[in-house]
Amino acid sequence: MAKGKRFKSNFEKVDRNKKYSVDEAMDLVISTANTKFDESVDVCARLGVDPKQSDQQVRGAIALPHGLGKEVRVLVFAKGPKEAEAKDAGADFVGADDLVEKIKGGWLDFDKVIATPDMMATVAKVAKVLGPRGLMPNPKVGTVTMNVKDAVTGEKKGKLAYRVEKAGIVHASIGRSSMGADKIKDNFKTLFAALMKAKPASSKGVYMKSLGVSSTMGPGIGVDVSSAQAAIK
């Protein structure tokens, strides 16, 4: 199918004014992910929070039941026994100042960064590089820890870190189209449940304002919030 025809066909499959059930939405997002590459499946949730308020931050990290459908390259800042622990757990890169120098030189061939607490002064030397890319280790999502083994194992399996952005929106990838609708649905439910559980006590009014899912090159598909709530009960 020609590129233009494929886009038109995909957009015609979706009623932009409709909110689909979770089952319908997951089937649709897979059927519209029909390019030659393995498209990412992404969730967009608009929350009734004000991210400018410190008590209305929504962020966390979860292990998805079926992972992210891709290889995750993990870098660990550690020394001594923790360095060996990281290597044994399957970390792709382990070190300290040597990694800092590589990163300063422009090297960024990794997806996740973990550090032991004693290494954070070293990591701070490249904070301006890692921070804007969402790679800076953070204790709130379990990437600053002495439990290096579990942290590496979790990230390699496909641990998803999420956080609310300025407009009160959470964007997160929940897998690849090749995983199929059933696995994507399981991952979606896990993320949705985590977002609902993370509702700040100070958030008033409607918390989950809107919910959508899309593939990399596909149209946005609205998801009925009440259907998503029923799916996690």
Task: Report pLDDT digits (tens) over 130-147.
Answer: 999 889 999 988 899 999
Q: What is the mean pLDDT of residues 164-177?
A: 92
Domain spanning 74-157: CATH 3.40.50.790: yes
Q: What local confidence, expressed as pLDDT, does residue 34 receive?
A: 84
Residue 152, pLDDT above cutoff 70: yes
Q: What local confidence, expressed as pLDDT, does residue 9 receive?
A: 83
Q: What is the mean pLDDT of residues 12-30?
A: 94
Top pLDDT among 159 and 119 is at 119
HSE of 150, CA atoms in CB hemisphere, 13 A = 8
Reading the block at residue 10, the tokens are 């995909």
Beta pairing partners, 159: 63
Which of 3-17, 63-77, 148-162, 214-228 ranks highest by mean pLDDT?
214-228
The CATH superfamily assigned to 15-68+159-231 is Ribosomal protein L1/L10, rRNA-binding domain (3.30.190.20)
Q: What is the mean pLDDT of residues 192-204?
A: 93
Band of residue 1 on the pLDDT scale cut at 50, 70, 90:
very low
Contact 208, 60 (CB under 8 A): no
Of all residues in the chain, the percent with pLDDT exceeding 90 is 73
- The mean predicted confidence, pLDDT, of the chain is 92
Q: Which pTM does this prediction carry?
A: 0.74
Of all residues in the chain, the percent with pLDDT exceeding 70 is 99
- Domain segments of the chain: what residues? 15-68+159-231, 74-157
